[in-house]
Structure 1
């Protein structure tokens, strides 16, 4: 049987031990690995945006079905080494402000008022033709990929999405007793219609600057990266028990 080869990112020693326990070998990312195994959300984001050399297995990168919990890393790697895995295509995002590219994202892009408990008004539209969806008063709006839909978007009240089902668009702390959330195909545009203070653009947890009123913040799928799924998928089931 061919030896399983894994490149690592963000490892604190846990992944190397798990790979070796599973009968595999750790190699450099340029050495034709079978998988790139990441530890933590930051390592996952950096790896995906750097055009990985092999499908990515995220470990300890939040909840949801895309990530393996740290305690399950060895079991998941044993499944990969034995060929008991599958590949899923996951979207990456381009984030532009009035046509100027500001950042790329793997998990989510968020508009958020810079001061706590300050409400702004946002217009939300979908698709390249800018079909209007709603105007909302809220602390912010988050647009998440399926990989990011189990994070901040879910905490704000959005649904967890399976791969290929679109983007989750969720108002953050809306000024309403009931508030809608939306799933759009592959592109969302958010415009700050009124702000009482600065509105920040936050991409995958990092501030990417302040956006001006009336600017179109376009969040659109710009590519796909293969992720690995290996049984058991306890990273999701355990976190919900």
Structure 2
């Protein structure tokens, strides 16, 4: 079995110890070992690698610790692994594509110790994650309000990202085909809900209390005004090689 490596070439030792070879050409690799969240995002959201991904040291339950990599790759080389598709997300503001995310997208006040009011809505024609990515007709979906709340922000996490920031904010960890975890961040009320929703999901800023930023996978994309909304939708998937 031939493995590509992204993020840290030192894992080549584990690849060879597992009886596999290191492949530098993406088109010729059977799978790619992505070391760290940054490398995983590069592989998942880029177009260079199309083979299954083995995530390593990504700080989440679904990732392989580096110390277990040789044994895990040996099992994969013996045919014991399986491929699970995990969704990726597109972000649109006012109908324009502004970014993509593998783990999560968030609206959050740009200044510390400030709150704003946010709205969450879902489309009446929501499509399960197990379906093919939607076409542009989804942009005309009718929206049903889920809730409005005052908080520091609101995060929408994919199944891969649901064990990270969204979980720390009080959300559920969801499976690959379950949907999006939608969670208020530091809400003003003592009791608030979180949700698991099928895409697309619309986020909005309901009051002009403080500047609000759109953040995708820890990268600030742009500010969002109360006159704008952010539509978070599934735009594809990345195949993960797991036990």
For the criterion TM > 0.5, the same-fold answer is: yes
Matched, 1:49 2:45: yes
1:210 to 223, 227, 240: 223
In the superposition, the TM-score normalised over structure 2's length comes to 0.90
**CA distance in structure 1 between the aligned counterparts of 2:197 and 2:241, rounded to whole angstroms:** 24
In structure 1, list runs of 5 or more residues that go unmatched: 231-241
What is residue 186 of structure 1 aligned with on the other side? 199
Conservation of the 8 A alpha-carbon contact between 1:119 and 1:137: yes
State the 1:159 CA deviation. 0.5
Matched, 1:78 2:74: yes
Conservation of the 8 A alpha-carbon contact between 1:32 and 1:54: no
- Which secondary structure does the structure 2 equivalent of 1:74 belong to? helix
**CA distance in structure 1 between the aligned counterparts of 2:242 and 2:84, rounded to whole angstroms:** 7
Query: Once superposed, what is the RMSD of the aligned Cα atoms?
Result: 1.1
Matched, 1:151 2:151: no
2:65 to 56, 59, 69: 69
Name the stretch that deviates more: 148-157 or 22-31: 22-31
- Which secondary structure does the structure 2 equivalent of 1:139 belong to? strand
- Give CA deviations for 1:151-170 in whole Å, capped at 9, x if unaligned: 11111111111111110100
What is residue 123 of structure 1 aligned with on the other side? 119
Matched, 1:7 2:4: yes
In the superposition, the TM-score normalised over structure 1's length comes to 0.90
Aligned residues: 225
In structure 2, list runs of 5 or more residues that go unmatched: 124-140
Regions of 4+ moved over 4 Å: none
Name the stretch that deviates more: 20-29 or 136-145: 20-29
State the 1:187 CA deviation. 1.4
Conservation of the 8 A alpha-carbon contact between 1:95 and 1:102: yes
**CA distance in structure 1 between the aligned counterparts of 2:145 and 2:120, rounded to whole angstroms:** 6
- Give CA deviations for 1:54-109 in whole Å, capped at 9, x if unaligned: 001111112132x1122221221111111110110110100011111110111110
- Which secondary structure does the structure 1 equivalent of 2:72 belong to? helix
**CA distance in structure 1 between the aligned counterparts of 2:101 and 2:142, rounded to whole angstroms:** 22
- Which secondary structure does the structure 1 equivalent of 2:206 belong to? strand
2:34 to 38, 41, 45: 38
